[in-house]
Amino acid sequence: AQSVSQHNHHVILSEAASLELGCNYSYGGTVNLFWYVQYPGQHLQLLLKYFSGDPLVKGIKGFEAEFIKSKFSFNLRKPSVQWSDTAEYFCAVNSGGYQKVTFGTGTKLQVIP
């Protein structure tokens, strides 16, 4: 069964600091990878996704993630965070087709002005 690990549960950064949130998954076959974000008081929404092709994917609001197949990782990055990036971030994976999506436990990011 597929599983997703997010190593950082709570991250506190100052504005303009660089961000990297770790995500590792366990499934060995073809995967689709996602990062979702939940801003305070808002719905979960898609930040970015990887299906195939260029392993470096860019999402909304300056976020990007790199798929490293050999490391089973899909880390989220942003070069300079803003206070408005304060949110909870979830990594998710599915093994394609109509297979279910498995979510990680989430990382709460707090950006201090």
Partner 1 sequence: EAGVAQSPRYKIIEKRQSVAFWCNPISGHATLYWYQQILGQGPKLLIQFQNNGVVDDSQLPKDRFSAERLKGVDSTLKIQPAKLEDSAVYLCASSPLSYEQYFGPGTRLTVT
- Least separation in angstroms between residue 61's CB and partner 1 is 17
Contacts to partner 1 by CB under 8 A: 4, 6, 32, 34, 36, 43-46, 49, 51, 90, 92, 94, 97-106
User: Minimum Å distance from CB 106 to partner 1?
Assistant: 5
User: Is the Cβ of residue 24 or residue 94 nearer to partner 1 in the bound state?
Assistant: 94
Q: Are 21 and 9 in contact (CB under 8 A)?
A: no
Using alpha carbons, list the distances in angstroms from residue 17 to 23, 69, 82.
Answer: 20, 27, 8
Sign of the C-alpha dihedral computed for residues 80, 82, 86 and 92 taken in this order: negative
Nearer to partner 1, 34 or 63 (CB): 34
Least distance in angstroms from the C-beta of 113 to partner 1: 26
Residue 97 Rama label (left phi>0; alpha psi -120 to 50; beta): left
Q: Judged by CB, which is closer to partner 1: 69, or 100?
A: 100
Q: Of 43 and 70, which CB lies nearer to partner 1 in the complex structure?
A: 43
